Every structure is written in C-alpha cells, then in structure tokens.
C-alpha cells in the first residue's frame, strides 16, 4: 500500500467518539471473546439500522465475514484522495486444524491524478495441506527519490560520462512519477507440521516513468543515471521471475497474530524469457515472532520482524531495487516514505509492542522502533549505516471475526523525516 503522509478513514471520527463512550463502561468479564468485542463493522451496522444490538455470531466455516469501509486522504504529493478498504475471511476446514483464509482489498483516486488498486489473499485448504498467497497491485504514483544507500540525507550516483559529456555527481532529491502493475502468486504444500515448500511466479511492470524535476537536466535524476549505467530504458522496464519458497508458519492467525512464528525464504530468479530486461538472482528472507503477554488479554503482544533482500547475481531495474516499503504490503519503514532508502541489497529490523486500550477491544495502541540498511554501487556497503525510525499508533478494530483493524501510526526517523501512516491490518 502506498504510504500516505496523512490519511484517515471518513468514519473514524464517529467510531472513536463511540469508543470513548464505551471506554468508561466496566465489564465483569474482559476475557478475549467475540461476544464482548466491538468493531467498526458492527457499529456502522447499528448506526444505519438504528438498532442497538449485538450482531449474531458469524459461522466462518460457511458464509465467512466481509467488511467494507470508506476512506479519504490528503498530502501535498498525492492531493486529496477518496477510496475504500475491505477485508474478508473464511475457514475452508475445521478451525481446530485449519488457519483462517483472508482476503484484503483497497483502492483510491486523488486530485493529482494518482490512483491505486490492491488485492491480496492468503488462503489455506483443509488441515492447511495447501497454502495459496498472492497479490495484485495496479497504480499510478509519485515518489521522492533520494538515490541509493544509507548514511546520508541523499547520495549521488557519482560522475557520469555520456556522449563525450561529463556530468557531475547528483546528491539531490527528485520527484519520480510512474505507473506500475505487480502480480505475485505462490503456492505452498505442507511437508510436516507448520513446514511448507512451494513455488510461484512474480511479474512487475513499470512504465510512464517521469523524472519530474524539469528545471534540471534529466541526466541529473537518479533513475536516469542508474538506468543508463546498467543498460535499462529510463522510461519503462520489467522484472519478472520464478520463485522457489520454503516456509515455517505456526501463527494462530494471519491478519493479527497473537502468538507464533512466521519464517519465509524465497529464491527469485528474473528471467528474460518471462520478459525481464535483465537476469537476476535474489535471496529474500523474512522472520516474524509473536509473544502474547497475557492470558486474559492475548492482544498484549510483543513482536519482532526481520526482512532482507540480497542481490546474488545480475542486476535489477531502478524501481525494483529493494528498500523502504518493498514488502508485499508496502509497510516497511514507518517514519519514511516508500523508496526513501534502497539499494542492490537491503536489510530491515523492527520491534513492536501492542496493547488494548478499551475493554471491548475496539481501540488498541502500538509502540514501535525500526532500523534499515542499504548499499549502493559506489562505496556504501550493506550494514555500514543504519537509519532508525520509531513511533506510536492507534488501532481501530475493523472486523472482529477476521481480526482486521485500521492502523494509524505516527513515526519519526533520521534527517527530520516524520509523518502519519495508514494501513489495513497490522504492519506485520
């Protein structure tokens, strides 16, 4: 999801007012039960129906559960945007031995002629014998581009010589507009308890790339310089490949885990016969661990996240380089905009504490801290410099049956970076 500097749901104000009223209420039993929980979906149903009733339990093995919420956004780059977010879930087997299958979607369109659509799913067959994970993302966006590497506010790409003309280093920030289509599908087969192996395909198309700094030569922009150096067209390119996957997953739920481990190792090879401009081999490693700190309030969770992407051979087009926001949900690096730091290889670590605020679990809070490191093609090595970020956030329970929530975070990072970040479901 595109990280927005300031974004809030249209209905959030109404729901928070309702939550404040409910916060004063005391409950004899605050155990984690769906009957005692309140969510935005239920409050909206009551608001439009005019009835103050608790919804009947949903049979997640039959109809499942689905919720939709309108949203709005504004920031100077994107402009005013409107759209909607949605989340659904269903069990395709016995809940005692089958993980909840989830699907999440969202879209927005802005006054600056920017837009995005996202659809993500994580489905489990009966007894978790098969696991299907996939994403589709289509959009037109803008990013502020600072070049490659960590350790300074902005790195240049060094001196460049083209057509017998010498161009100096370019350590500045440039706006970068582009259109993207991304599709990723992976299928896993259960080998043993919680252990899976699988394969997949990944397609990433970038076009209409516009280095928007018109008052300087295009040869000064990072995308143009990198593309020329590495043999790519500066205006369009592709990175399509095959995936081999190994996964360990014993989380209790994919949207908002209270306990468990998720570990994923992916070997990706971009192939020219699939349309890639260049061949490349990448190793992607992800590890998440969740500790529930209370038996009566399992939502009290301490969690850690490691995400890394290493270029083993070949080369990648500029917008495909791993960095801030490069995970499937675009959530890496709260405190920074998407693409703020990137390199041929990239490493990220984060820790977060989650806790309920209201007894009915409608509102929760988080506190988080993260660090990231990236290299460049010159003198910056991976792990040499780390860029920190930290912040706090508010969670609004969106759908209690799927544990979906609306996340509003405020983060601050190095070089004065700060902002509000919104997303559907926990960051990890």
Q: Is residue 1 part of a domain?
A: no
CA separation for the pair 421, 428 (Å, rounded): 14
Q: How many helices (H) and strands (E) does the chain have?
A: 3, 20
Q: Which residue has the tokens 């409107």?
A: 82
Task: Write the DSSP symbol of residue 325.
Answer: T
- 105 — phi, psi (to 5°)? -145, 160
Q: Which residue, among 236, 242, 381, 387, has the nearest Cα to 318 in the 3D structure?
A: 236
The string over 313-322, giving b where at least 16 C-beta atoms fall within 10 Å of a residue's C-beta and e elsewhere, is eebbbbbbbb
123-154: pLDDT as tens digits: 999 999 999 999 999 999 888 888 899 988 87
Res 316: pLDDT: 96
Is 214 contained in some domain? yes
The tens digit of pLDDT for each residue in 220-276 reads 788 888 898 888 998 999 999 999 999 999 999 888 899 999 999 999 999 999 999
CB 4 within 8 A of CB 82: no
What are the φ/ψ torsions at residue 242 (nearest 5 degrees)? -105, 150
pLDDT at position 332? 92
Residue (of 428, 335, 309, 312) closest to 390 by Cα position? 335
Q: What CATH number has the domain bearing residue 319? A: 2.40.160.50
Rounded to the nearest 5 percent, the helix, strand and coil shares of the chain are 10, 50, 40
Distance of alpha carbon 221 from alpha carbon 11, whole angstroms: 40
Domain that holds residue 265: 7-424
Q: What ranges make up the beta strands (E) of 214-279?
A: 237-238, 241-249, 260-270
Q: Strand, coil or helix: what is 152?
A: coil
| Vertex 237: Cα angle to 105 and 337 (nearest 5) | 50
pTM equals 0.80
Distance CA 131, CA 101 (A): 9
Q: What is the predicted pLDDT for the residue at 400?
A: 81
| Residue 141 backbone phi and psi in degrees, to 5 | -145, 180
**Rg, Å, the chain Cα set:** 22
* Structural domain total, the chain: 1
Q: Which two tokens stand for residue 369?
A: 């801290």
Q: Which residue from 314, 284, 312, 290 is spatially nearest to 302, judged by alpha carbons?
A: 290
Quick check: 307 and 215 in contact, CB under 8 A?
no
Q: What is the DSSP letter of 403?
A: T
Q: Give the helix ranges, DSSP H, for 153-276.
A: 222-230
The answer to whether position 81 is within a domain reads yes
Q: Which residue numbers in the chain have pLDDT < 70?
A: 1-36, 38-64, 72-79, 157-158, 160-166, 212-219
What is the Cα–Cα distance from 103 to 309, expressed in whole angstroms?
25
Half-sphere exposure of 284 (CA within 13 A, CB side): 18
Say what the pLDDT of residue 351 is.
Answer: 98
> CA 121, CA 99: separation in Å to the nearest integer?
13
Residue with tokens 């608001």: 47
């Amino acid at each position: 999801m595109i990280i927005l500097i300031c974004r809030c749901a249209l209905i959030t104000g109404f729901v928070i007012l309702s939550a404040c009223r409910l916060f004063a209420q005391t409950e004899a039993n605050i155990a984690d039960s769906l009957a005692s929980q309140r969510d935005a979906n239920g409050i909206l149903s009551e608001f439009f129906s005019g009835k103050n009733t608790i919804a009947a339990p949903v049979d997640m093995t039959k109809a499942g559960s689905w919720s939709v919420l309108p949203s709005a956004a504004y920031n100077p780059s994107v402009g005013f945007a409107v759209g909607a977010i949605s989340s659904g879930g269903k069990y395709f087997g016995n809940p005692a031995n089958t993980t909840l299958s989830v699907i999440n979607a969202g879209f927005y369109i802005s006054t600056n002629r920017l837009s995005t659509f996202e659809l993500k799913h994580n489905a489990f067959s009966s007894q978790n014998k098969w696991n299907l994970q996939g994403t589709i993302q289509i959009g037109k966006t803008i990013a502020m581009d600072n070049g490659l590497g960590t350790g300074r506010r902005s790195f240049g790409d060094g001196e460049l010589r083209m057509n017998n003309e010498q161009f100096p280093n370019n350590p500045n920030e440039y706006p970068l507009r582009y259109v993207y289509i991304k599709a990723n599908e992976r299928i896993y087969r259960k080998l043993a308890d919680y252990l899976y192996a699988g394969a997949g395909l990944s397609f990433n198309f970038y076009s209409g790339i516009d280095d928007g700094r018109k008052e300087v030569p295009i040869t000064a922009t990072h995308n143009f310089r990198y593309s020329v150096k590495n043999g790519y067209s500066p205006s369009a390119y592709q990175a399509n490949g095959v995936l081999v996957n190994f996964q360990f997953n014993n989380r209790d739920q994919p949207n908002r885990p209270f306990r468990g481990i998720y570990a994923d190792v992916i070997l990706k090879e971009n192939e020219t016969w699939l349309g890639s401009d260049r061949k490349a081999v990448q190793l992607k490693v992800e590890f998440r661990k969740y500790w529930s700190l209370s038996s009566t309030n399992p939502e009290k969770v301490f969690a850690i996240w490691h995400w890394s992407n290493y270029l083993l051979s070949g080369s990648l087009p500029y917008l495909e380089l791993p960095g801030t926001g490069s995970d499937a949900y675009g959530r890496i690096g709260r405190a920074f905009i998407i693409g703020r730091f990137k390199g041929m290889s990239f490493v990220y670590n984060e820790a977060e504490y989650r806790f309920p605020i209201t007894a009915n679990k409608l509102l929760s809070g988080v506190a988080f801290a993260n660090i990231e490191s990236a290299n460049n093609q010159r003198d910056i090595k991976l792990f040499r410099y780390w860029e920190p970020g930290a912040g706090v956030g508010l969670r609004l329970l969106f759908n209690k049956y799927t544990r979906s929530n609306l996340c509003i975070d405020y983060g601050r990072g190095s070089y004065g970076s700060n902002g509000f970040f919104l997303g559907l479901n926990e960051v990890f």
